[in-house]
Structure 1
């Protein structure tokens, strides 16, 4: 089942916080295992929901899981969507700054799909911006998507952020994004989602 089907239901019935905590635990346990096997520079990105951001103990919860698995600063990246970040921008800016003080990297996910205020966005202590796949999928044929992608990458760099393009599925997209100065890319061009065991083999071959 796709996340966009079950996550709204989990949020509606107040299950998203325990699910989110379980995901964090599982993800960091797996990261610790991979790092022990030699992938020392590997880090894990985990999404946070709006409900988790409003939890009073969220910072302590995250720090405790990192400590439990003996993971250093820079091992975890938290991703929040643009729309979630903008719900309570000043409050979220303080929370994200506290997380960043503990060595947790921060990314805005699905950038360009919400209705954010750039004046608020610049206040958030971010490390990374993720260019939404809706702009990437037609970047070869749609000049508007190409222009938006190039402008977003340029703006992010001016703000001192690295850029990850989502949904890269072919070499032409990769070449175009590289030419625009995009820092990182992800998508089916490299691999479809993998189970942990298969991902371990992928890491061994490519890391």
Structure 2
């Protein structure tokens, strides 16, 4: 009995500790400012805020997930996991001036590094985010447990730093349900300062 109560107490303390690391809020449909970007969404999202990254979801992170990474610095991991070291020169490190195909490959390598398999990109296209040139492309992948995902990506270098928005959802239901609204949101993204 005591060990069960102790475990529950430890779980509660851990949950509170994790909650203090990030701020959670509800993002209603409409216009919102995220870092230095303006996003117009037709959907309501749960928004988990971090210092230079956010995660947005509608039904839970395994069912749909928009990851936003803002102002990734030179020699930093594309998903801000760590900085490049001389002892680990290979990796998805951002470099200013990368070509669109290099930016695509950088994001794909980051996704693979996080454990997804069979990661591929299609429909790569140039895109203007307000007055800034970037690239859009679609992705397919699978989790290690075998769940197939589809998604769409927006990547842009601005002022020597990288911004990327990566949305993924299981291909069987959630992707088809939300892809039109997510594409609208990513296509209409613009920088505000």
TM over 0.5: no
TM-score, normalising length from structure 2?
A: 0.28
TM-score, normalising length from structure 1?
A: 0.26
Report the structure, 1 or 2, having the larger helix content: 1
* Higher RCO (CA < 8 A, seq sep 6+): 2
Report the structure, 1 or 2, having the larger strand content: 2
